[in-house]
Amino acid sequence: MDSTALLLMGGGSRAAYQAGVLRGIARLAREFVPDAAGSPFDVICGTSAGAINGVGLARGAQDFLQAAEALVQLWARLHADRVYRTDVSRISASGARWLTALAFGWMTGRTPRALFDNTPLRELLQEEHDAQQLQAAFDAGALRALAVTALSYTTGRHVTFYQSPHVVLPWRRSQRIAVADTIGVPHLLASSSIPFLFPAEPVQLEGNDEWFGDGTMRQMSPLSPAIHLGADRILVVGAASRQQPGWYDTVPASGYPSLAQVAGQALASVFLDGLSADIERLQHVNAMVSRNPEIADARDGWRKIEVLVMSPSERIELIAARHVQRLPATVRALLRPLGGTEARGAAFASYLLFEPEFTRELIDLGERDALARRDELAAFLYGVVPDTMAA
């Protein structure tokens, strides 16, 4: 039986888009396979905020429609203070620590860990995560494998933590390893700790504690976990457009770039680089296998694997620019000197905009994008050729 993987690549609050895509796919499931309650994905891989979405969907793999809607409701009700502390005392202390470190760090010897304290996110994940429900999905056969990827600051290696009831041999590549583990809250915090914004998270690896950050950093082979876990086709849902024209076509030039504008471009490179090149490599392998079927070897990934990529049809930073004033006043005060509340800095702010007005617009965009590609998704996920395609 063919295996279908879902790869979710996140980016802070932008990952609300993925919930919308999944709701759209749930609508297609009701249309094309009304009697199938389970998830169309038996392998789920997540990175960054996509790891949080992926584990949430995996827990509900026995009832895909309900799991997709639960993600939508989570994102639709989310506020920034459920992800990071926004109170005056904490924000003021954070700003003071960074200012002191930049001005007098050589005297104090103390360095701040991150711009924001994500303790509320830890508490939210502890409320939401249900290890027994996840295990039940495995036991019922609704889920074959789950993977979460993070970057070890300690060693510089990308680590894929995976959980599966089946025999899956760990793999090692240059600066990439995979280890079997029971996925939990520490893995989600590690994978979603955006550099500089959120603190690193310790996770035990091979008997030692290592410090981890966002799994999208330096992720040159994002398709690799799904392939190693046996996927025959992979649906990739990103949280940023794969084609991002420069600001010059929408925002007039206005002098020297702000720190927020520079940071936004840096984060965009973190979250966007790697996928396109990895897809090109896979297409090259597919072409070689098609021409030379005798070289196919499933154990080494030398097999034909289909890939379909979903990404926002609108530029999320432009949507964020309309909602940046929805951020708590304390956060706006912290970002304002960096240019983070200006239109040019909206790309940076978009990773922190955990506010319903913004996330709901992304959910709606994701659902529209999925329904706009109804025929492609129906054929890819369910092997159904809709009448519009047949015609």
The catalytic residue among 181, 214, 278, 369 is 214
Give the other-Cβ count within 10 Å of 159's Cβ.
Answer: 24
- Look at residue 108 and tell me if it is in a domain: no
- Look at residue 391 and tell me if it is in a domain: no
Higher pLDDT: 112 or 80? It is: 80
287's CB contacts (< 8 A; 6+ apart) are: none
Cite the DSSP H helix spans in 192-309.
224-228, 259-272, 275-291
Mean pLDDT of the chain: 88
224 labelled catalytic: no
Question: Which pLDDT score, from 0 to 100, does residue 387 have?
Answer: 67
pTM of the prediction? 0.91
Residues of the chain above pLDDT 70, percent: 86
**CA–CA dist 25, 200 (Å, integer):** 34
For the four alpha carbons of 60, 62, 64 and 66, in that order, the dihedral sign comes to negative
User: Residue 361's pLDDT band (boundaries 50, 70, 90)?
Assistant: very high
Residue with tokens 């490179």: 269
**CA–CA dist 281, 387 (Å, integer):** 33
| Cβ pair 177, 161 in contact under 8 A | no
- Tens of pLDDT along 106-127? 455 566 678 899 999 999 999 9
The catalytic residue among 13, 48, 94, 152 is 48
- Look at residue 191 and tell me if it is in a domain: yes
Amino acid at the residue 266: A
| Cβ pair 15, 239 in contact under 8 A | yes
User: Residue 324's pLDDT band (boundaries 50, 70, 90)?
Assistant: very high
Q: What's the CATH code of the domain at 238?
A: 3.40.1090.10
For the four alpha carbons of 223, 227, 233 and 235, in that order, the dihedral sign comes to negative
Residue 158: phi and psi, rounded to 5, are -85, 130
Question: Which pLDDT score, from 0 to 100, does residue 246 have?
Answer: 47
- Look at residue 113 and tell me if it is in a domain: no
**CA–CA dist 303, 288 (Å, integer):** 9
Least confident residue range of 3-7, 36-40, 138-142, 144-148: 36-40
| Cβ pair 309, 242 in contact under 8 A | yes
Residues pairing with 237 in the sheet: 8, 310
Question: Which pLDDT score, from 0 to 100, does residue 64 have?
Answer: 96
Question: Which pLDDT score, from 0 to 100, does residue 196 have?
Answer: 87
Give the CA dihedral 23, 26, 30, 32, nearest 10 degrees: 120
- Look at residue 341 and tell me if it is in a domain: no
214 labelled catalytic: yes
- Look at residue 130 and tell me if it is in a domain: yes
- Look at residue 146 and tell me if it is in a domain: yes
294, burial (CB in 10 Å: exposed 0-12, middle 13-18, buried 19+): exposed
Burial string for 308-346 (b: 16+ CB within 10 Å, else e) reads: eebbbeebbbebbbebbebbbebbeebbeebbbbbbbbb
Residue with tokens 């680089």: 273
Number of domains, the chain: 1
Amino acid at the residue 4: T
Domain coverage including residue 152: 4-83+118-251+274-314+357-384
Residue 125 to residues 220, 290, 302, 326, Cα–Cα distance (Å): 28, 44, 37, 23
- Look at residue 111 and tell me if it is in a domain: no
Token digits of residue 247: 């600001």
- Tens of pLDDT along 247-291? 445 555 567 888 888 888 777 776 666 788 888 888 888 888 878
180's CB contacts (< 8 A; 6+ apart) are: 161, 162, 163, 164, 168, 170
Residue with tokens 């994500």: 118
| Cβ pair 33, 374 in contact under 8 A | no
